[in-house]
Amino acid sequence: MDELVDLTRQLVAIPSHEDETAAGNAIESWLREQTDGVVTRDAAGNVIARKGSGSSLALVGHHDVVPPDESQLDDAGGYVVEERDGRLFGRGTADMKGAVAAAMLAFRGADPAGELIFASFVGEEVGGEGARAAIDDGFAPEFAIVGEGSTDYSTTGVTDVVVAHKGRRAVTITAQGSAAHASEPETGENAIYRATDAVDIVRDLEAPTVDVFGETVSGSVVVTEIEGGSAWNVIPERCRVTVDERTVPGERADLDQIGGIEGVEWTVDQDLPPMRCDDEAFAEGVRRAAESAQAASPQLVSKPHATDAGWLAGAGTTCVICGPAERGEAHTATESVSIDGLERCYRIYLAAAERLP
């Protein structure tokens, strides 16, 4: 499908790691010229198009990307896009302008069963800024397919349907003590000792698990950094510990136990929500659409990292994730996406739009 490859190349070639405006302009212009949808651009820079009526299904993506590797830039600072061995290479091919292009074409071509919405957000890579702005502005589809990667999860070459993903809570533990000369440690309070008491609690915490339509999603909680002390002969008065918690829907590790240690407190620096599909019939409907678009049998699976689906689900939208990117492709110096995968997802989005909700 040459048009899908050309549109993906066009979008990928537009730098959007510092400023998404030009990429948003290209998406907005294409939708206005190529579709009969009602196209809007909100104050955050999100591009949204609607057509049809009835129960609403949104095809959701984002057009910002993480900073490119030097090898992904040309001499003028533009993005390099290359096609070889049945794949497109370049920053944003997998995450996720390829899925955005497939959704744009599906939006244009579909005779939807209800109201069909296309949405491409800004700021996904920096905490879902665009999605949150859209939600605050009233964006509330009943159902959504988020085009993040779901390929190669059950079997190589199969695009599956994700029904749950983990969130991320980043926590800083701060221990306060009082400084003293190391030759007289009893005259001070060792902040590192207090911090390590907190570390012992974290190490012994049981990370929660949940079951979503037969798929087990397991969280984790782990200390990733520790910093404290000012000199080899001074009892430290302050120590800081970083904790990475991967959350699961409806459950959190019991970090409140840390608050019982004298001189120790903890604060949340980032809290990206997990996602759980709340409608098995919808999930199965998307899985059947995926099955109709490929020879293999897609499965309902879970995903290890957070996406904009977490924000949407938290606001009441029933979500699944289905996209062309394979595991391990996003954010890499060799990022690429299979052209077969792009075409497969176009067919999935088109089938879902015409059959669901």
C-alpha 207/C-alpha 223 separation (Å) is 13
DSSP-assigned letter for residue 342? H
C-alpha 308/C-alpha 350 separation (Å) is 21
Mean pLDDT of the 309-316 span: 98
C-alpha 61/C-alpha 138 separation (Å) is 17
> 253 — alpha (psi -120 to 50), left (phi > 0) or beta?
beta
Task: Count how many residues are written for the chain.
Answer: 357
Question: How many other C-beta atoms can be found within 10 angstroms of the C-beta atom of residue 355?
Answer: 15
Predicted pLDDT at 126: 95
Per DSSP, the residues of 160-187 read -EEEEE-EEEEEEEEEE-B-EETT-GGG
Return the closest-CA partner of residue 30 out of 115, 101, 122, 113. Answer: 101
Compute the Cα dihedral for 107, 300, 337, 340 and give only its sign. negative
C-alpha 295/C-alpha 38 separation (Å) is 35
Interval 5-53: pLDDT, tens: 999 999 999 999 999 999 999 999 999 999 999 999 999 999 999 999 9
DSSP-assigned letter for residue 94? I
CA–CA distances in Å: residue 247 to residues 241, 250, 251, 273: 19, 8, 7, 8
Q: Are strands 300-303 and 161-165 parallel, antiparallel or unpaired?
A: parallel
**279, 104 in Cβ contact below 8 A?**
no
Interval 157-170: pLDDT, tens: 999 999 999 999 99
C-alpha 138/C-alpha 152 separation (Å) is 34
Domains of the chain: 2-166+274-355 (3.40.630.10), 167-271 (3.30.70.360)
- Averaged pLDDT score across all residues of the chain: 97
Compute the Cα dihedral for 108, 114, 120, 124 and give only its sign. negative
Q: Are strands 56-62 and 115-121 parallel, antiparallel or unpaired?
A: parallel
Predicted pLDDT at 357: 80
223 has a pLDDT exceeding 80:
yes
140 has a pLDDT exceeding 80:
yes
**317, 144 in Cβ contact below 8 A?**
yes
